[in-house]
Amino acid sequence: MRAYVPSYQLVSPPTLSEALEALSQNDGAWKPFAGGTDLMVLLEAGKLPQKNYVNLWNLKELRGIEVSDDTVTLGALTTYTEVQNHAVLQKEFPMLVQAAKETGGIAIQNRGTLGGNIVNASPAADSPPALLAYDAELELISKQGERRIPYSRFHNAYKQMDLRAGELLRAIRLPRRSDRFDYYRKVGTRKAQAISKVCFAGVIRIVDGKVAHIRIALGSVAPIPIRCEKTESSLHNQPLNSEAIKLGASTMSSEIVPIDDIRSTRDYRLRVSLNLLQDFLARASTS
């Protein structure tokens, strides 16, 4: 059943300050609308309960990719197409570029936004594992001011986030480094326009034959995108040999809690996650 469109309201403030003012009104009656690639699906299906929206699409304060010596800052309205076309992201953050390529089709990539993908809070989203592995930081803004939090602390439970009433995600910050090995894999039913059964992102830096830095993140294996911090700890400062890889796999098998659902089974997700971990570590050891 389709939604009754005249029952919805959409306002388009010309500035960020006016948008924040609108979002602060009437105790959460108004919600942000960015690219709309998720919300319009719900609207068409008659399953969009929220009625009042603030259009963010034309706000220049939420756009742009800024590069400094230490950080790349992406405005929340950065599209997947813009991610793919940016030279610094291609060179230094290839997992995020790959995630953007594997998100939907071309129309979705032209309209869907990185900020929207984060705040939609789907555990199966393609970009969150890459952002977690890259130690992304979020800049949040409201009428009351700005604050920054590590992305790893943003998702609390299924569709629950550290996002206060009237607050927007303004930007995503990525620390720059070049001395690491990156590994990203999305496993779905088909090659294109598939929702992931498992999404794996890992970065590692090896110094003097031992793991000096490691980040492992997964999607579709928990109610939220997760960092596998116990698995990381089990591998830190270890030589990347067969014993360490077995230890990492053993730790991960108890750290993630996949579920059975319409897309896949718990056993399949667990097996694939462990296989990807072992492939990641094996490739890193010979890189």
**What token pair was written down for 173?**
């910050």
Q: What is the pLDDT of residues 136-155, one digit of tens each?
A: 999 999 999 999 999 999 99
Q: What is the per-residue pLDDT for 6?
A: 84
Q: Is 3.40.50 the CATH classification of the domain at 5-55?
A: no
**What token pair was written down for 147?**
């604050």
Q: In which element (H, E) is residue 172 found?
A: strand 168-175
C-beta separation of 231 from 216 below 8 A = yes
C-beta separation of 65 from 86 below 8 A = yes
Count other C-beta atoms under 10 Å from residue 200's C-beta.
28
**What token pair was written down for 123?**
């555990």
Q: What is the per-residue pLDDT for 1?
A: 59
**What token pair was written down for 45?**
């299906």
Strand partners, 234: none
Q: What is the per-residue pLDDT for 281?
A: 97
Q: Per-residue pLDDT averaged across 85-110, rounded?
A: 95
Burial of 192 (C-beta count, 10 Å sphere; 0-12/13-18/19+) = exposed
Q: How far apart are CA 214 and CA 176, in angstroms?
A: 15
Of 120, 126, 151, the residue nearest 227 (C-alpha): 151
Q: What is the per-residue pLDDT for 32?
A: 94
What is 181-286's CATH number, 3.40.50.1860, 3.40.50.150, 3.20.20.140, 3.30.390.50? 3.30.390.50
Residue spans per domain, the chain: 5-55, 61-175, 181-286
Sheet of 210-219: strands edge to edge? 181-187, 198-207, 210-219, 226-227
With a cut of 70, say whether residue 102 has pLDDT above it: yes
What is 61-175's CATH number, 3.30.465.10, 3.40.50.720, 2.60.40.10, 3.40.720.10? 3.30.465.10
| SS3 per residue for 96-161 | HHHHHHCCCCHHHHHHCEHHHHHHHCCCCCCHHHHHHHCCCEEEEEECCEEEEEEHHHCEEECCEE
Q: What is the per-residue pLDDT for 191?
A: 66
DSSP 10: E
Q: What is the pLDDT of residues 157-188, one digit of tens each?
A: 999 999 998 999 999 999 998 889 999 999 98
Q: How far apart are CA 32 and CA 54, in angstroms?
A: 5
Best mean pLDDT range from 29-33, 115-119, 193-197: 115-119
Residues in the chain, overall count: 287
